[in-house]
Chains A and B, each alone.
Chain A
Amino acid sequence: MREMKISLTFQKQAYAVFFAVILSLVRGVTYSNEIGIALEAPMAILAFTFCADTYVQEIASKRSEIWRLCPMKKRMNSIYRRMVMQVMFLLAVAAASYGLFFLFQNPSIYGMEQSGLKIEICQFFVYFAAIAVTLGFWGLLSNLVSCLFRNMWAGIGGCMVLWLITNSTIGDRIFGAWNLFSYSFRELEDSSDFSWIYGKVVCIVIGIMAVAVLPKIIQKRG
C-alpha cells in the first residue's frame, strides 16, 4: 500500500487514464482485431514514461543516500513491488482502453452469436497477454536505463529511440517475427499465425536480464 502511494501518485494515474481516453477517441479502427495494433505501441510509450521514475525519484528527492544504508535485499524488494504495482495499473488501463475502443469507435465485430463472441473473447485474451509482456518490458527497461544514468529523462529518451527503431517499417523488415512489436506487425488476416510470440519471447528474455542486472546497477550507482 505504501509503495502504491509512492509510485502511483494521483497525477500519474490521471495522465495514464487521460492518455487512454484520448487515444481511444482519436485513433480510428474499422475491425475489432485492429484494436490491439492501435494500442500496443502507444501503451509502450505510456509504460516507459510511467515507470522511468520508479527508483530515480529517490535520487531526485535526495533519499538515495539513506537508501544506501538499507539492506540491498529490502531495497530491491521495494523497487520490484513498485514496478509490479505500476505494471498492474497499466494493465488495467490497457484492458479498459480495449473496451473504450469498442465504445467510441464501434468497430465491426464477428457478430454476437456464440462463435463470434468466442473469437472476440479469445482475441481480447491474446491482446491482454501480448500487452502484459509489452508493458512489463518497457517499464523494466526504462527503469533500468534511468538507474544506469541516474536520470529519468535518460530512461525515457533511451526507450524512445528503441521504440522509434522497432516500431517502424525498417524495424519490421530487420527483426521480423523477433521484433519487440511483433504483435502489432503480425498478419491480421491469418489468425492462426502465432509467430509474433518470438518477439514477445525476446521481450521476456531482455526483461529477465534487466531484473538480474538492476541490483548490480543500484549497488554500484546508488
Chain B
Amino acid sequence: MGIKIEDLTVTFRNDVTAVNHADLEIPKGIFGLLGENGAGKTTLMRVLTTVLSPTSGTVTLDGMFYSEGNFEKIRRKIGYLPQEIDLYPSLSVQECLEYMGDLSGIPRQTYKERINYYLEKTNLSEHRRKKMKQLSGGMKRRVGLIQALLNEPEFLIVDEPTTGLDPEERIRIRNLLVDFSEGRTVLFSTHVVEDLVATCNQLAVMKNGKFLYSGNMKELLEQARGHIWICKTKEEGTARELEKQYHVSSKQYVGDELQMKLISETPPQMECSSCEATLEDAYIYLMNKEPHNAKYGAAH
C-alpha cells in the first residue's frame, strides 16, 4: 500500500509554491528523496507528517486519506526526524528518550526495552547518562533518530539522518534503517548520494516543487549511461574551457594530468572516453537535462 500523493500543491502566504502539482507513490521499503536545496523536500515531508496542510491535492497512507478526522490515526503510524531539532539540553539521553516515549503514549516497559535496543544499535549506550547539551552533533542526530523509531512507526520520515556522522556511524545508521524498513515505509531524504546507493532501490528527485524522476535507481543510472565522459588534459586553458562548456561532476590530478568527468549528451570535442555513471552523475545529468540548458546546448 504505502503512501500515495496526487496532484499535491503547497503554496505559502507569500505566494511561494514549494510543492507544485506533485504526484508520487512511495511503496514499502526505503525510498530515497533527492533534490537541491529549496526543491520542496522538507515541505513535502511536513505535509506527510501532518504539520502542514496542502493547498490542494490528496495524500493517502495505506489507503487512509489525510484529513482532519484521520490525523490522530495517521500520526500514530508516523515517526519523524526533522532536519533541525534541538532535543532537551537539560535532560540526559536516557531521560530525553523516556520523556519522548511517555509523550508518545508507549507503555513504560516497552519504551525502556526499545531505548536499550536502539542505544545499543546506534552505539550510544555508554553515553546514556550524558546530558543532551554535552553531545556532539552526530550523537544528537542519533538520539533524534531513536526518538523517531521509538513508537515503531509504519511510516518513518527521516530528513538527513546522517548529517554530522563519521563514516562508521553513517554505515551503522544506514544498516539500522534498512533493518527497520522491513515491512514498513521509510522516506529517506538526504544530500549524501552514497547513502541512497547503499540503502534504496527506489527514489525520487525533486526540483522546483516537482518530481523530475521517480522510480528505480537502475533506470535512473540507465538514463545517464553514455552521457558521462572522462577527459584528460595537461593544459589549464583547456580545462577551463571544458568547465565552461560542460557540467564537471569531478576532477582530480592523475600525475601531471587533470582528469575530468564531464556530463554531456554528445561526446565532448576532444579526446575522451565514456564511463559508467554513478548516482551522483545521474543526478547531475537529470537536474540539468532541460531542453534549453545552455551547457547541454554547447555540446551540440
- Do chains A and B stick together as partners? yes
List chain A positions with a Cβ less than 8 A from chain B: 2, 5-6, 9, 61-63, 65-72, 74-75, 78, 222
B105 touches A70 (CB 8 A): yes
B103 touches A67 (CB 8 A): yes
Q: Which residue of B lies closest to A72 (CB)?
A: B72
Q: Contact check: which of A5, A61, A78 meets B103 at CB < 8 Å?
A: A78
A62 touches B84 (CB 8 A): yes
What band does the interface of chain B fall in when counting residues whose beta carbon is under 8 Å from A? 20 to 34
Q: Contact check: which of B76, B85, B98, B105 meets A66 at CB < 8 Å?
A: B85
List chain B positions with a Cβ less than 8 A from chain A: 46, 49-51, 72, 75-76, 78-80, 82, 84-88, 90-91, 95, 98-100, 102-105, 147-148
B75 touches A68 (CB 8 A): yes
A6 touches B91 (CB 8 A): yes
Min CB distance A5 to B, Å, is: 5
Q: Which residue of B lies closest to A73 (CB)?
A: B105
CA A198 to CA B76, docked complex, whole Å: 45
Collect the chain B residues with CB atoms within 8 Å of residue A66's CB: 80, 82, 85, 100, 147-148
Given A2-B91, A68-B75, A69-B78: A63 in contact with B86 (beta carbons within 8 A): yes
Collect the chain B residues with CB atoms within 8 Å of residue A71's CB: 72, 76, 104-105
CA A113 to CA B102, docked complex, whole Å: 53
Min CB distance B290 to A, Å, is: 33
A2 touches B98 (CB 8 A): yes
Min CB distance B75 to A, Å, is: 5
CA A9 to CA B133, docked complex, whole Å: 13
Collect the chain B residues with CB atoms within 8 Å of residue A5's CB: 88, 90-91, 95
A-B CB proximity, top 3 nearest: A61-B86, A69-B75, A70-B103
